Amino acid sequence: MTLSLEASAAVWSPSAPARDDAPLLVLLHGYGSHEHDLVGLVPHLPRSLRSVAVRAPLTAGPGYAWVPIVDPGRPDPAATQDAAEAVLTWLDEHVPASTPVALLGFSQGGLMVTHLLRNRPERFFAGVVLSGFTADVKLPGDAALAETAPPVFFGRGDVDPVITPEAFARTSAWLPEHTTLTEVVYPGLAHGISQQELADVARFLTGVLPG
């Protein structure tokens, strides 16, 4: 199945000059949400980062999704790959190859962050996974990702009722084998993003910005 992202369903936040060499943060929303959902995070992140929030290609209730939910925490490998390829195609069409790109995703958007890194590790300088997970599948790019080991921030709450404990455990075990991991578990946080987590993300991104 070939998926595509709508060019008109992308929200650009030009917080820095629109130069090809200015780093770009791609925001990937969660299941049932939309491209405006994470835009509110942008004012709290490094000002030198431009950002773009893109809409997932599948409809899901009143919003959109990257993959259908059939077995929670274990998305269909083919559907996950289709979604990742749609994002990569969109990037190739709208973002110059010379632009340094980082990824930030919440929940199912976090799944997309890990899958994009696994598909094209050389394209991204960092990733932020918030209340997300990685697919339980081996990919050809995993070895290259482990060799590159880009910095990744993995944040989640310890009382998250949405993502399964098994999916979190799998991700906590997988990420340090393939990335340079910063993992933080926030006591009392459910399926959301706290002010402390947002401050930690901003600090992380500041520390990994190119040049």
**DSSP assignments along 77-104, one per residue:** HHHHHHHHHHHHHHHHHHS-TTS-EEEE
Strand, helix or coil for residue 111: helix
Instruction: Please report which confidence band the pLDDT of residue 16 belongs to, taking 50, 70 and 90 as the band edges.
Output: low
Residue 27 within a domain: yes
Using the CB atoms, write b or e for 94-129: b if 16+ within 10 Å. Answer: ebeeebbbbbbbbbbbbbbbbbbbbbbbebbbbbbb
Phi, psi of 80 (to 5 degrees): -65, -40
Q: Mean pLDDT over all residues of the chain?
A: 94
Residue 14 within a domain: no
Domain limits for position 128 = 23-208
Per-residue model confidence as pLDDT tens digits over 156-181: 999 999 999 999 999 999 999 999 99
Residue 129: pLDDT above 90? yes
Q: What CATH number does residue 151 fall under?
A: 3.40.50.1820
Residue 12 within a domain: no
Per-residue model confidence as pLDDT tens digits over 52-102: 999 999 999 899 999 999 999 999 999 999 999 999 999 999 999 999 999
Instruction: Please report which confidence band the pLDDT of residue 3 belongs to, taking 50, 70 and 90 as the band edges.
Output: confident
What local confidence, expressed as pLDDT, does residue 30 receive?
97
Residue 4 within a domain: no
12, 89 contact by CB (below 8 A): no
Residue 7 within a domain: no
Residue 55 within a domain: yes
Q: Can you give the pTM of this predicted structure?
A: 0.96
Residue 15 within a domain: no
Residue 39 within a domain: yes
What is the number of structural domains in the chain? Answer: 1
Q: Residue 5, by phi and psi: left (phi above 0), alpha (psi -120 to 50) or beta?
A: beta
Dist. CA 29–CA 112, nearest whole Å? 9
Dist. CA 42–CA 38, nearest whole Å? 8
What local confidence, expressed as pLDDT, does residue 7 receive?
65
